[in-house]
Amino acid sequence: MTDQTSPDIIYTKVDEAPELASASLLPIIQRFAQAAGVSVGTKDISLAGRILATFPEALSAEQVQSDDLAELGKLVKTAEANVIKLPNISASVPQLVAAVKELQSQGYAIPDYPETPETAAEKETRARYDSIKGSAVNPVLREGNSDRRAAKAVKAFAQANPHRMGVWAADSKTRVSSMQGGDFFSNEASATLSADATARIVLTATDGAEAVLKDGVAFPAGTVVDATFMSAKALDAFLENEIASTKQDGTLFSLHMKATMMKVSDPIIFGHAVKAFLAPVFEQFGDELAALGVNPNSGLGDLLERVKDHAGIMAAIDAVMADRPPMYMVDSDRGITNLHVPSDVIIDASMPALIRAGGKGWGPDGKEHDANCVIPDNSYAPVYDETIAYFKETGALDPATAGTVQNIGLMAQKAEEYGSHPTTFEIPSDGVVRMVLEDGTVLHEHSVEAGDIWRSASSRKAPIEDWVMLAIDRQRAEGCEAIFWLDADRAHDAELIKYVIPVLEAKGVADKFKIMAPRAATRATLETIRKGENSIAITGNVLRDYLTDLFPILELATSAKMLSIVKLMQGGGLFETGAGGSAPKHVQQLVEENHLRWDSLGEFCALGESFMFLADARGNAKARVLGEAVEAATQGILDHGRSPGRKVGQPDNRDSHYWFARYWAEALAAQTDDTDLAAHFAPLAASLAEGEAAIVAELAAVRGNPADLGGYYHADPAKVAAVMRPSATLNGIIG
C-alpha cells in the first residue's frame, strides 16, 4: 500500500517544452483541484533529475535528490496510482553528456560520462549512466497496457478544420529500403516457457573461451522469450548499396532510427551509417580519428567538432560529402544533417512527417525532394513501405473525411523492450551466443561475428492476456474493425498468436477480430479510414510506438493531442499526454523569442481522464464534476481557436492556459450537479473574464525578446516561473 498522505494525483516533472508548459499550467490545476479536496503533487523524472538521483554521493546535502522514478515504479504497482505522465527525454549519449556538463557548470560535482571506460571505477560510473540512457522511464512506469486514441473533441475539430497535406505523385521516387537478410527480423527465434526459469546468456568464442554476457535473467512460466541478431557485415553492405543507389536515383539519403529508445542497438546502427557515409575518410584517417576520440555512434556533429582544427581531415570530409547523395536535413538553415545527432531523427516522428508531406524531405538546398528512407531492420519497415505505396496509388489522405485508428498496445512489464533492454549486446568476438536455462536447456543459439548486435526480449503471460482482454473491451465499446497486427510467419508473433486465439474463442468473439501481418494490416486500415470508418490496431510495444504517431499525424497533424490511457494491472491509472519529439525546437524558439508554441491539449485530455478515474476509484463525486468540466474547457479551446500559434506575435502556450482556466471555471460555475462547486467557481470565472484585457496584454508584452531559463536540462525554477507566468493579473486571480 502507498502512503495515504501522498498526493491524489502525481503530475510528472519532465524536460524541455512540456516542463516549461507545466510551470504555467500546474498552478492552475492545483488551484482548481483543491476545491474538490484533490491534492496534486509532482515527481521528478527529468533527465537531470535522474542523473542527480543516480550520484547522491557526489552531491552536497542541499543538492541530494530523491529517486522519484524508483518511487513511482513502486506506486504504479498499486491500485492507488493516479499518474499524469508527460513526455520525458529518452537520452542519447550526446544528450546525456550535454546534461552532465550543464549540471557540472551549475556546481553539481557529478562525474564525467566515460566514453571509453578503462578502470573499474570508470566502468561502474559508465554502467550507472547507461541505466539512465534511452527509454529508461517508460518500462518502469508502464505496469499496464496501452489504450491510445484521439479524443472525440479533437477528432471532430480536425475533421472540421483539416490540416494541410502534401501532394502524392504516382511517379514519386520516395521509397523505403530495408535489409532483406542478416537483420533482426530474419534471425529471430522465439519460445514460450512451460515453467519458471532463470537463464544466462553466454558467448563461446571460436577459441573455446566462454564469457557470460548476462546472468540470472528470470522469467515466470508462460513468458515468450525471443532472441535475434543483426549482422554487422550485412548491415555495412546494405548501407553501402543504399548510399550508391540513392545517388543514382537523385533522391535524399535519409536514415530513420530510434536511437533514443533502442539505446544499445540503434546508436550502433546509426554509427555504422555515419561510418559508411564517410567510409573513405575512416579508411584514410582511422588512427587519427580514434586518437581524437571520434565515436561514429555519437553522430556527424560530434565528429566534425572533434576534427574541425585538422585541415586534412576536414578537406577529406568535404570531398566525400560532395561525392555522396544529398542528405535529408534536420535543419537545412543551420546545416544539421540526418546523421548529425542520433536523437535528432526519430523514426516514429520523422517517417509520418515525410509521409504527410507527400513523401518529401528537406534537402541541403532548403528545398523539398523525394527520399530514400533507409530503415535497416525489416521488422516494421513494411508498415511505412506499404503506406507510401498506398498513397502513391490513391493520393493523400483527406483529414476532413478520414476515420480514426485507435491502438491497444502490449507494453506492460517491459513487454518487447528490445533495444532498451539489458540483454542487448555488441558482440566482441566471433563465436556462438546461447541463452541457457538453469537446467542446461539451450533455449536460443546464434552463430555471430565480432560487431554483430545480439538482443533478447520477453513478454510475460499475464500482460499478454490482459492486452487481449483490453482489446476485447475496446472493440465491444467501439463496434468497429479490430485487427491484431501479428505476422504468423514471424517467430515472436507466432507465439503471441498462440495466446490470442484461445482467449478470443473462450470469450466468443473470434469473429470480431482479424489477425494480419503488418504490411497487410497497414493497407486494410488505410482503406478503412479512407472510407471514413474506424479501426482498432492491436499491436506489440514497438509497433504501438510507431502507429500512435503515424496515424495521428495523418489524421490530426500531430500525435501530441492523443488520449493515452495505461490501465495499470493492479488497478491504478497512468495517463500519458502525447509525444515530445518537437520539444527541442520549441525551447529554442522560447529562448530566442519568448514564444512557446507547445500545445498542452494532450495534458488537458489526460487531466480530464485522471479526474474521472479518481472519481471512480475514490468515490469522489466532486472530482467527476471537475473532470467533466475539463472536457468542456478542452472543447472550448478547440471551438474558439485558443490553441497556440507557431509564430511570435501570435497567442502562445501561456495564452491557451489562460483560456483553459477561464473555460474550466465557467463550466464549473454553470454546472448543476454540485452547487457548492458552482458557487465556489462563479467568482473565479467572473474575475478571469473581467481580467481578460489586462491578462492578454501582459502575456503579449513579453513576447519577442530573448528569455533566460537558467539552463536547458536543469533550468532555474524561479527564472522559468518568471518566464512562464508573466501576467500579474492572472497570477493574482489563480494565486
* Residue 148: per-residue pLDDT: 92
**Greatest Cα-to-Cα distance within the chain, rounded to the nearest angstrom:** 81
With contact defined as beta carbons under 8 Å apart, do 138 and 69 qualify?
A: no
Q: What is the mean pLDDT of residues 665-694?
A: 97
* Residue 580: per-residue pLDDT: 59
- The model carries a pTM of 0.85
Strand duo 368-374 + 175-177: pairing: parallel
Strands (E), 463-618: 481-485, 514-516, 535-539, 562-568, 573-576
Lowest mean pLDDT among 173-177, 333-337, 444-448: 333-337
* Residue 536 in this model has a pLDDT that exceeds 70: yes
Closest CA to 334 of 653, 166, 557, 584: 584
- Identify the top-confidence range among 263-272, 551-560, 692-701: 692-701
Could you give the 3-state DSSP secondary structure of residue 452? coil
* Residue 499 in this model has a pLDDT that exceeds 90: yes
**Alpha-carbon separation of residue 146 from 52, 600, 606, 673 (angstroms):** 30, 20, 13, 32
* Residue 1: per-residue pLDDT: 30
Question: 306 falls in which pLDDT band (50, 70, 90)?
Answer: very high
With contact defined as beta carbons under 8 Å apart, do 463 and 223 qualify?
A: no
* Residue 403: per-residue pLDDT: 97
Phi and psi at residue 234, to the nearest 5°: -65, -40
- Identify the top-confidence range among 95-109, 257-271, 416-430: 95-109
Q: What is the mean pLDDT of residues 26-31?
A: 98
Strands (E), 569-708: 573-576
Question: 2 falls in which pLDDT band (50, 70, 90)?
Answer: very low
* Residue 691 in this model has a pLDDT that exceeds 70: yes
Q: Grid coordinates representing 133? A: 540512457
Burial 204-229 (b: 16+ CB within 10 A, else e): eeeeeeeeebbeebebeebbbbbbbb
* Residue 96 in this model has a pLDDT that exceeds 80: yes
Lowest mean pLDDT among 157-166, 370-379, 558-567: 558-567
| 468, amino acid identity | V
Instruction: Report d(CA 303, CA 236) in Å as an integer.
Output: 19
Q: What is the mean pLDDT of residues 293-305?
A: 95
